Structure 1
Amino acid sequence: MPTGYRKATDLPQVIPVFPLDGALLLPGGQLPLNIFEPRYLNMIDDAMASDRVIGMVQTREGGDRLRPHLAPVGCLGKITAFAETGDGRYMITLTGVCRFTVGDELPVQTPYRQVRANYAPYDGDLRPQDGETLADRQPFLTALKHYLDHRGLEIDWESAQAAPPDALINSLAMALPFEAAEKQVLLEAASLTERRDVLITLLEFDAAGGDDDDRPRLQ
Structure 2
Amino acid sequence: MPMNVTYEGPIDLPEVIPVFPLPGALLLPRGQMPLNIFEPRYLEMIDDALASRHRLIGMIQPDSAHPGPEDRPNLFKIGCVGRITQIAESGDGRYLMQLTGVARFRVEEELTVQTAYRQCRVTYAPFADDFIARKGEEEVDRKQLLRALSEFLQANNLKADWDGIENAPNEALVNALAMMSPYGTAEKQALLEAPDLKTRAEILVAVTEIELAKSKSDGETPLQ
**TM-score, normalised to structure 1's length?**
0.92
In the alignment, what sits opposite 2:222?
Answer: none
Deviations 1:43-68 (A, max 9, x none): 00000000210100001123211111
In the alignment, what sits opposite 1:215?
Answer: none
The secondary structure found in structure 2 opposite 1:208 is helix
Amino acid at match of 1:27: P
CA distance in 2, matches of 1:134, 1:123: 19
Work out the percentage of aligned pairs sharing the same amino acid: 52
Question: In terms of mean alpha carbon deviation, does 60-69 or 87-96 score higher?
Answer: 60-69
Cα contact 1:35–1:41 (8 A) shared by 2: yes
CA distance in 1, matches of 2:131, 2:69: 34
Instruction: Please list every run of 5 or more consecutive structure 2 residues that lacks an aligned counterpart in the other structure.
Output: 217-224
CA distance in 2, matches of 1:118, 1:103: 7
Amino acid at match of 2:129: G
Q: How does 1:12-91 map to 2 (within 5 A)?
A: 12-50=14-52, 51-60=54-63, 61-91=66-96
Amino acid at match of 1:132: E
For residue 195 of structure 1, the aligned residue among 200, 204, 207 is 200
Question: In terms of mean alpha carbon deviation, does 3-12 or 168-177 score higher?
Answer: 3-12
Q: How does 1:158-197 map to 2 (within 5 A)?
A: 158-197=163-202
CA distance in 1, matches of 2:41, 2:167: 42
Deviations 1:110-144 (A, max 9, x none): 00110001100001111233572236421111111
Amino acid at match of 1:24: L
The secondary structure found in structure 2 opposite 1:69 is coil
State the Cα distance separating 1:160 from its structure 2 match.
Answer: 1.9
Instruction: Please list every run of 5 or more consecutive structure 1 residues that lacks an aligned counterpart in the other structure.
Output: 212-219
Q: Which has the higher strand share?
A: 1
**TM-score, normalised to structure 2's length?**
0.90
CA distance in 2, matches of 1:194, 1:152: 27
Q: How does 1:108-147 map to 2 (within 5 A)?
A: 108-129=113-134, 132-134=137-139, 136-147=141-152
